[in-house]
């Protein structure tokens, strides 16, 4: 299998920004490199949204994949450019919290990118994706040793990503992402309720906005069209959907909203 390089940015698809990064990669990378766009619709400057989508995507890419990730509101200031190895894959971008989730899930090694030999000749102050990160990623794909690209032993700047709160009576989390369908993806791992899901002696109430659900389903087709449903999602987190509808709009629930599950023990 040839080498894979993915791209994730908040650049959108209307401008030439993504294409010129690809041009720089094609000029400096190996001929058999495969480029895959993850998303260029990260909300502008939303570092944690970028951190989330890269973590979710990386699970399915093979070892040695290179992920170029640019959500960079501090471009041109003193935030460091970094290269990270984690989960057997590579991540390149600004050290502004963008790698908080990847580095939280497993150990990492990080290099501070400081070798301008591998950058474009002229470095703008507002487009390091093109001038610094893209050529570095291409050279890494071509087999350049990371120790040549930067200085090892870097400690990442990370943001704390709130974890769900759990005790014997229940769990409280929040809506971490709303997808294209309007499905509400929580930060509550499906494993939390797995043992209860098929145990009809455990009753529960799930509170989200003004909606109360009473059991965990398998898929949105388990309820009638128009009805809300909670199920273990494809990201291994609990998700709330409306069958054939947009849950965020129909339930009036924005990103960041609380989701609370209360277990109701059977009376003896």
**Residue choice 144, 179, 205, 255 for contact with its own copies (CB under 8 A):** 179
Sorted by sequence, the CB contacts under 8 Å of residue 261 that are 6+ apart come out as 170, 171, 172, 188, 192, 193, 204, 205, 206, 207
The structure tokens 């023990």 sit at 265
- For residues 238 and 197, give the distance between their C-alpha atoms in angstroms, rounded to a whole number: 12
Which of positions 83-142 make contact with its own copies (CB under 8 A)? Answer: 124-127, 130-131
Q: Choose the binding region for its own copies from 101-109, 141-149, 168-176, 216-224 (rule: CB under 8 A).
A: 216-224
Distance (Å, rounded) from C-alpha 7 to C-alpha 181?
22
| Binders in 27-46 for its own copies, by CB under 8 A | 27, 31-32, 34, 36-42, 44-45
Residue closer to its own copies (CB basis): 74 or 152: 74
The closest alpha carbon to 47, from 15, 94, 106, belongs to 94
Tell me: does residue 255 bind its own copies (CB under 8 A). no
Min dist CB 102 to its own copies, Å, is 13
Long-range residue pairs from 156-159, CB within 8 A, at least 24 positions apart, any chain: 156/82, 156/84, 156/95, 156/99, 156/100, 156/103, 156/108, 156/110, 157/79, 157/80, 157/95, 157/96, 157/97, 158/97, 158/99, 158/100, 158/103, 158/104, 159/47, 159/48, 159/51, 159/97, 159/100
Instruction: Give the C-alpha separation, 237 to 188, whole Å.
Output: 5
With binding defined as CB under 8 A, does residue 191 bind its own copies? no
Q: Which is nearer to its own copies, 22 or 139 (CB)?
A: 22
From 24, 171, 176, 240, residue interacting with its own copies (rule: CB under 8 A):
24
197 binds its own copies (CB under 8 A): no
Spatial contact of 188 and 174, defined as CB atoms under 8 Å apart: no
Cβ closest to its own copies, residue 9 vs residue 103: 9
17 binds its own copies (CB under 8 A): yes
Q: Which is nearer to its own copies, 14 or 199 (CB)?
A: 14
Task: Centre a 10 Å sphere on the Cβ of residue 155 and count the other Cβ atoms it contains.
Answer: 11
Judged by CB under 8 A, the stretch of 136-144, 145-153, 179-187, 208-216 that binds its own copies is 179-187
Chain centre distance of CA 109: 19
Which has the closest alpha carbon to 213: 229, 195, 189, 190? 229
Q: CB-wise, 194 or 265, nearer to its own copies?
A: 194
193 is a contact residue toward its own copies (CB under 8 A): no
Q: Is residue 199 part of the contact set for its own copies (CB under 8 A)?
A: no
The residues binding its own copies (CB under 8 A) are 1-2, 4, 6, 10-17, 19-20, 22-24, 26-27, 31-32, 34, 36-42, 44-45, 53, 56-57, 59-62, 65, 73-77, 124-127, 130-131, 177, 179-181, 218-222, 231-234, 239, 243-244, 246
């Amino acid at each position: 299998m040839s080498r894979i390089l993915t791209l994730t940015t908040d650049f959108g698809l209307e401008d030439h920004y993504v294409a010129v990064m690809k041009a720089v990669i094609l000029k400096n990378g190996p001929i058999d490199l495969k480029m895959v766009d993850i998303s260029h619709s990260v909300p502008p400057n939303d570092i944690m949204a970028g951190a989330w989508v890269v973590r979710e995507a990386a699970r399915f890419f093979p070892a040695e994949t290179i992920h170029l990730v640019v959500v960079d509101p501090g471009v041109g200031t003193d935030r460091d450019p970094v290269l990270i190895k984690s989960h057997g894959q590579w991540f390149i971008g600004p050290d502004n919290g963008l790698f908080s989730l990847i580095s939280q899930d497993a150990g990492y090694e990080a290099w501070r990118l400081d070798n301008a030999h591998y950058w474009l000749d002229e470095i703008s102050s507002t487009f390091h994706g093109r001038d610094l990160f893209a050529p570095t990623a291409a050279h890494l794909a071509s087999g350049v040793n990371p120790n040549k690209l930067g200085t090892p032993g870097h400690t990442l700047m990370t943001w704390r990503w709130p974890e769900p709160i759990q005790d014997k009576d229940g769990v409280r989390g929040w809506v971490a992402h709303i997808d294209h369908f309007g499905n509400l993806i929580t930060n509550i791992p499906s494993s939390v309720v797995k043992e209860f899901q098929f145990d009809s002696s455990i009753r529960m109430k799930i509170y989200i906005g003004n909606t109360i659900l009473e059991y965990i389903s398998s898929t949105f087709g388990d309820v009638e069209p128009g009805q809300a449903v909670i199920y273990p999602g494809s990201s291994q987190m609990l998700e709330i959907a409306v069958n054939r509808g947009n849950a965020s709009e129909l339930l009036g629930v924005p990103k960041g909203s609380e989701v609370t599950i209360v277990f109701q023990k059977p009376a003896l």
